[in-house]
Each structure stands twice: as structure tokens, then as C-alpha cells.
């Protein structure tokens, strides 16, 4: 979470180091407005579909939690648009600092945690494809999901409570509203969030390394079998083509994680240094790191519209329910997803 999530204009300051340039006040507001509209539609459909799907697997439980996080994140975008474009009143900018930006980061790290859990789940599903589930395991996953939400909300609640100072002028940063205890707790939350990200990054890398090895072994075995069974070559080739497509779909989670979350956390390190050790950075360098942070933060926001790809390509129940609701044949998107029976080996039921 950032103390500078809201940066007002500085009267009379036309320096190239001012944060209020065309990128911040026009480009990003337009991009976030588009993201809000697309996210509202896609996540609205996701909520509508998942409301009809019972929580009968770990994967579906995790996806439902990500849907909720994405919906909340999407509703924070209009406030960021108004704040960044300098169209927000003082009261609204205070709300952004106290509530909206806090919810944005809470939902981001909730998504990161559930991406880690999904990676573990996909790894187990690949290594032990016939391992089933039961009611007790589902209850434990629901309790774990509730614990994640409770932990992060309780962790970040002081950021809301301790951001209560009255701004001394219309031109303030979010950090100006924090009490001394609030600034200290803000640093604590930053460190905890960094730990959450790096631990989940390691989890994702290990999980998909194991998945890759297992898929390669499986592909090698099936390829060897194909050579010895020339008589069924045509049908076997079709099977392998569908399976390779299925295998590629598994890596959507990895792709979304790396596109959305990794750049921001690497850019955040020099940005934080430029804010806490200002004497080492001149104004233009600070501006560069700020724009880098905002650009990668937008990539993190893309998570809210990329997640529906995961729901569609990896969750068979989602596709089936969507097709039934829209009265489409299950094979409508077979060219994109591969045949359903083959997808089930790594997608949820």
C-alpha cells in the first residue's frame, strides 16, 4: 500500500517533475475507466454464473473468492479515476486515501494468496489426478478462505482508522492524513504484503515447475506409446493435440500471475526507496519511479479482467453453466478449450 496513492495538483508548479502530467491526469484515468467498464461486465457475468455453481471442489472455492475480490477491486476504479484526474473534491480524495485505496490493495493481496492456493491445487491435481475430495476438506478450504479475508481486513483496518488527520491545505498526499502510529503501521503492512507476494511467487514457481515436469513425463510416455501403435495414429494425434491445448491452458494461472503482479512488486522496490531515501534521488528520478509504479499498478489492476479467462478455460463447471444459461451447445468453444473429457484431467469438475 502506498502513502502517495492520491497526488493533488501543485499550484504554480510547471516543473517536469510534477506528478500531475498528462500521463497521470489523462492517460491512466481513461485506461481505468475502460478497465472499470470491461471489469464490470466480465465480473458481473462471473458472479452470475458462479452463483449457480455449488462449491464442490477446492478450485471452485478459490475461484469464487477471487471473483469477490475482483468485484470489490473493480468498484474502486472510479474513485481512482476521479482522484488522478483532479476531478475529486477534498472529501472524496480523503475517502480514496482512507477506504478506496486500502480496499484496492486488500483485494490485490487476497487474489495473490488465492493464486498461490490455486497453483498448489493444480499441482496436486496434475501429480495425483485421481485424488478426490470430501465434505470435510471442502469445509476446511472454506474456513481457510474466511481466515484469509479476516486476516487481511484486520491487518489493513488500522490504515483506515489511523488515516484521520485533517489536511492542512487542499494539496495533500495520503501520507499527510496519517497519524504517527498510522505511518508506522503503514510500513508494517507494506512489509507483510511483500512477504505475502514473495512467498506466493516461490509457491507458484515451484508448483508450475512440478507441473511442467509431470506434463513432460506424461507427454514423453504417450509419445512413445504412439510410435508403437501406428494403427491408431490418427485418433491418437487428435488426442495429443487436444491434450497439448489442455496443458497450455493450465499455465494461464502462471501467465496472469506474472503479467499482473510480478512487475509491480519489482517496480515497487526502487519506488519505495525514492520515497523513503529522497536525498539519494533527484526530482526527475522520483518522477520516473512514480510513473513506473503507476504503470505496473495498472498491470495489477488488469487482474480483474484477466481472471475470467481462468474461469472459462480451466473451470468446466463455469463453461457448462455459462453455455446452459446462454442456451449454447457445450461444443460451441471446443476449438478454444479442447474436448471437455480431456480437459477434465486438470480442470475442475
Q: In angstroms, what CA-CA distances link 264 with 99, 105, 201, 270?
A: 21, 12, 13, 11
Look over the chain and give the mean of its residue pLDDT values, rounded to a whole number. Answer: 82
Q: What is the mean pLDDT of residues 304-318?
A: 90
CATH number of the domain enclosing 206: 1.20.1070.10
| pLDDT at residue number 2 | 62
Q: What is the pLDDT of residue 112?
A: 97
Q: Is the residue at 284 inside a domain? A: no
Is residue 256, in this structure, part of any structural domain at all? no
Q: Is residue 174 part of a domain?
A: yes
Q: Could you tell me if 126 and 215 are in contact, meaning their C-beta atoms sit under 8 angstroms apart?
A: yes
Q: Go through 29-52 and write b for each residue having 16 or more CB atoms within 10 A of its CB, e for each that does not.
A: bebbeebbeebbebbebbeebbee
Integer Cα distance of 138 and 142 in angstroms: 6
Asked if residue 47 is part of any domain, the answer here is yes
- Residue identified by cell 477506504 is 99
pLDDT band, very low/low/confident/very high, at 18 (cuts 50, 70, 90): low
| Residue 322 domain flag | yes
Band (pLDDT 50/70/90 cuts) for residue 16 is very low
Of 75-89, 111-125, 171-185, 316-330, the range with the lowest mean pLDDT is: 316-330
Whether the predicted pLDDT of 76 surpasses 80: yes
Contacts of 250 (CB under 8 A, 6+ apart): 122, 126, 211, 215, 314, 346
Neighbour count for residue 249 (Cβ, 10 Å):
20
Residue that the C-alpha cell 517496480 belongs to: 267
Split at pLDDT 50, 70, 90, the class of 10 is very low
Query: Under a CB-based contact definition with an 8 Å cutoff, are residues 78 and 29 in contact?
Result: no
pLDDT at 226: 52
* pLDDT value at residue 289: 87
Question: For the segment 319-328, what is each residue's pLDDT rounded down to a tens digit?
Answer: 888 888 887 7
In a domain, residue 289? The reply is no
The whole-model pTM stands at 0.85
d(CA 298, CA 31): 8
307 domain-assigned? no
* pLDDT at 332 (0 to 100): 59
Residue 155 located in a structural domain = yes
Average pLDDT over residues 184-196: 93
| Distance separating alpha carbons of residues 96 and 104, to the nearest angstrom | 10
pLDDT of residue 229: 53
Residue 12 has pLDDT above 90, yes or no: no
C-alpha distances out from residue 155 to 72, 138, 304, Å: 17, 26, 22
Which of 136, 138, 179 shows the shortest CA–CA distance to 161?
A: 179
Q: Which of 103-112, 172-181, 186-195 has the lowest mean pLDDT?
A: 172-181
Does residue 252 sit in helix, strand or coil? helix
Q: Where is pLDDT greater, at 23 or 291?
A: 291
* pLDDT at residue number 13: 40
Contact by Cβ (8 Å): 331, 65: no
pLDDT digits (tens, 9 = 90+) for 200-241: 999 999 999 998 888 888 777 766 655 455 445 555 555 455
pLDDT for residue 94 is more than 60: yes
What is the total count of domains within the chain? 1
- Give the whole-angstrom CA distance, residue 330 versus residue 321: 9
Query: What's the domain range around 131?
Result: 22-225+235-251+315-343
Give me the residue label for grid cell 501403435. 229
Amino acid at each position: 500500500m502506498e502513502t502517495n496513492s492520491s497526488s493533488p495538483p501543485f499550484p504554480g508548479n510547471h516543473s517536469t517533475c510534477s506528478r500531475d502530467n498528462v500521463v497521470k491526469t489523462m492517460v491512466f484515468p481513461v485506461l481505468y475507466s475502460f478497465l472499470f467498464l470491461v471489469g464490470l461486465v466480465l465480473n458481473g457475468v462471473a458472479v452470475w454464473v458462479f452463483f449457480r455453481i455449488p462449491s464442490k471442489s477446492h478450485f471452485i472455492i478459490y475461484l469464487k473468492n477471487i471473483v469477490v475480490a475482483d468485484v470489490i477491486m473493480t468498484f474502486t476504479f472510479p474513485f481512482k479515476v476521479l482522484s488522478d484526474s483532479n476531478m475529486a473534491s477534498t472529501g472524496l480524495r480523503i475517502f480514496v486515501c482512507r477506504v478506496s485505496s486500502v480496499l484496492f490493495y486488500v483485494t490485490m493481496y487476497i487474489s495473490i494468496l488465492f493464486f498461490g492456493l490455486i497453483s498448489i491445487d493444480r499441482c496436486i491435481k496434475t501429480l495425483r489426478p485421481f485424488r478426490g475430495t470430501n465434505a470435510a476438506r471442502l469445509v476446511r478450504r472454506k474456513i481457510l478462505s474466511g481466515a484469509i479475508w479476516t486476516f487481511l481486513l484486520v491487518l489493513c483496518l488500522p490504515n483506515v482508522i489511523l488515516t484521520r488527520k485533517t489536511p492542512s491545505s487542499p494539496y495533500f498526499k495520503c501520507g499527510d492524513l496519517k497519524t504517527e502510529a498510522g505511518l508506522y503501521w503503514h510500513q508494517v503492512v507494506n512489509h507483510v504484503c511483500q512477504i505475502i507476494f514473495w512467498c506466493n511467487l516461490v509457491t507458484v514457481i515451484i508448483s508450475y515447475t512440478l507441473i511442467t515436469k509431470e506434463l513432460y513425463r506424461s507427454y514423453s510416455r504417450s509419445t512413445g506409446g504412439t510410435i508403437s501403435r501406428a494403427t491408431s495414429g490418427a485418433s491418437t494425434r487428435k488426442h495429443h493435440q487436444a491434450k497439448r491445448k489442455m496443458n497450455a491452458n493450465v499455465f494461464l494461472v502462471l501467465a496472469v500471475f506474472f503479467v499482473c503482479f510480478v512487475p509491480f512488486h519489482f517496480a515497487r522496490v526502487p519506488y519505495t526507496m525514492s520515497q523513503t531515501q529522497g536525498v539519494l534521488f533527484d526530482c526527475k528520478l522520483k518522477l520516473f519511479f512514480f510513473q513506473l509504479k503507476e504503470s505496473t499498478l495498472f498491470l495489477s489492476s488488469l487482474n480483474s479482467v484477466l481472471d475470467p479467462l481462468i474461469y472459462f478455460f480451466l473451470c468446466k463447471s463455469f463453461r457448462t453453466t455459462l453455455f446452459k444459461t446462454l442456451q449454447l451447445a457445450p461444443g460451441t468453444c471446443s476449438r478454444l478449450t479442447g474436448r471437455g473429457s480431456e480437459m477434465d484431467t486438470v480442470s475442475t469438475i
